[in-house]
Amino acid sequence: MDNIVIIIAFCVYLVGMLYIGWWGMKKSKGAEGYYVANRACGTWLSVGTFTGSFISAVAVLGYVGNGYAKGYMSLINVLGCVASFYLIYFCFLKPIKKRFDNLCTIPELFEAMYGSKAMSTFTSVVTIALFVATLVSQIKGGSLICSTILGFDYRTSLYIITAVFVLYTVMGGMYSVVYTDLIQTGILVIGVLVAAPFALKLVGGISAMQETIAIVNPIALDPIGTVGGWWGMISTFISFGFGIAATQYYLLRIYSAKNMKTARRMVSISCAIWTVVGIVLVILGICARIVLPDISTADNAIIELAYHMPLAVRVMLLIGIACAIMSTTDTILLAAGTYMGRDLYRMVRKNVAEEQTLKTTKICVVLLGILAGILAINPPDMIIKLTTFTTGVTASGFFAPLVLGFFWKKTTREGAMAGMFGGVILAVIYQLVNTSPIPVAGFGVVLSFALTIIISLAGPKAHPVYLPPEKNED
């Protein structure tokens, strides 16, 4: 009987998401409606889609799984994410919203700032690859939860999840995404917060949790040692802080907010929500390690823990996990399809009509969704590993050219290109050959800043950064 209730709730949820996709298709008119929801999202729509994009399979399955495996070390990741909100607020909100609000993508922004199609193309190609890698982790998470709820095997569940999120994303674009994100974020936050006291009750309270985890998993209480010492902690913090701040599907939400005040509220409220939810997710992981010490796959920890809770809580938590996964997956898929169908396509075909780029974007959304689904058939063991890779590349390649371009007038095209290319190359090579637990971001960000500054000062000065005048309206 319990399983039937969960199955019905999950099926209603999936049908609801498809309905909103169909509704968004009717509401979304033209390219700006599809790409940035006509730049008309109010405070709660903006908060819903920003928070929903942030709290993903990586956050729910990954952070709980990491808390299960490594304990309080996961709080370093959580705090890095909090730092990313501050970086977005102070470094990116005003320049993007007041100077570049006529654009739709970050590759367009790099081209406008530096007059370089090479930077735009490189950004699009690298970011699409990172988006597809991130989609793989999201689809894995969605397939695990779908398999658990519906009782299907992993591959069948993968087909269902992939079909649903591709359909509702391609139908309505950003309109579908922001409304589904708002609903899914609400369900997710309630599910996670309601589950927390029940999880603590299972382990006998906070004090008992601390005492027991010291016996069951001693490394849980040594976050600095677990992450590879102080430099490992700093590099992990930089990886998540700088990497997430420069992750482009978050920055795209600045375009869709209706004004600067809305954008500020979007980031501030989302930061508060994430701080609470992030800490709770780590605690859930530690509780799961005590209650279920022999789980073979750490990413399954929160799903297994849910089945030790009352039915109502179990339903809310499991559906909430699905919401976390889908609300980020649609965001990433739309951004990847937009970069391919809008930015790269216009590199190949000059002066193409906006209607044609929109059609191409929709085709790319479908193709990239299918590709990610195929790659997710054999995904990495832990979702958090894939995220560390993508945030490391993002932090190393894109943060310095953006920040220096916005705030240092001596930045040049050549310097920004050197910082971007050098950071990405180092991050990819380091992570492919390195076996230590220390993330690349600490090295990559330093190199990217150094190359951008040195080449800007010592190299050609013919192509300085361009910043259009700020708009007066708030």
CB atoms within 10 A of CB 458: 10
Q: What pLDDT, on a 0 to 100 scale, did the predictor assign at position 142?
A: 83
Split at pLDDT 50, 70, 90, the class of 46 is very high
Say which residue, 448 or 440, is predicted with more confidence.
Answer: 448
pLDDT digits (tens, 9 = 90+) for 185-228: 899 899 999 999 999 999 999 999 999 999 998 888 888 877 77
Q: What pLDDT, on a 0 to 100 scale, did the predictor assign at position 381?
A: 59
**Cα–Cα distance list, 169 to 5, 35, 247, 462 (Å):** 27, 11, 20, 42
Q: What pLDDT, on a 0 to 100 scale, did the predictor assign at position 3?
A: 75
Mean pLDDT of 435-440: 70
CA 300 to chain centroid:
20
CA 120 to chain centroid:
21
On average, the pLDDT of the chain sits at 88
How many alpha carbons lie under 13 Å from residue 41 in its C-beta half-sphere? 33
Instruction: Report the distance separating Cα 339 and Cα 122, nearest Å.
Output: 11
Mean pLDDT of 77-101: 91
- The CA-CA-CA angle for residues 402, 403, 407, to 5°, reads 120
16 within 8 A of 179, measured Cβ to Cβ: no
- Checking if the pLDDT of 126 tops 90, the result is yes
Q: Whole-prediction pTM value?
A: 0.88
pLDDT digits (tens, 9 = 90+) for 308-340: 999 889 888 888 888 888 888 888 899 999 999
Q: What pLDDT, on a 0 to 100 scale, did the predictor assign at position 451?
A: 97
- Checking if the pLDDT of 2 tops 70, the result is no
Instruction: Report the distance separating Cα 287 and Cα 466, nearest Å.
Output: 52
The DSSP 8-state label assigned to residue 222 in this structure reads -
Q: What pLDDT, on a 0 to 100 scale, did the predictor assign at position 248?
A: 81
- Checking if the pLDDT of 273 tops 60, the result is yes
Split at pLDDT 50, 70, 90, the class of 136 is confident
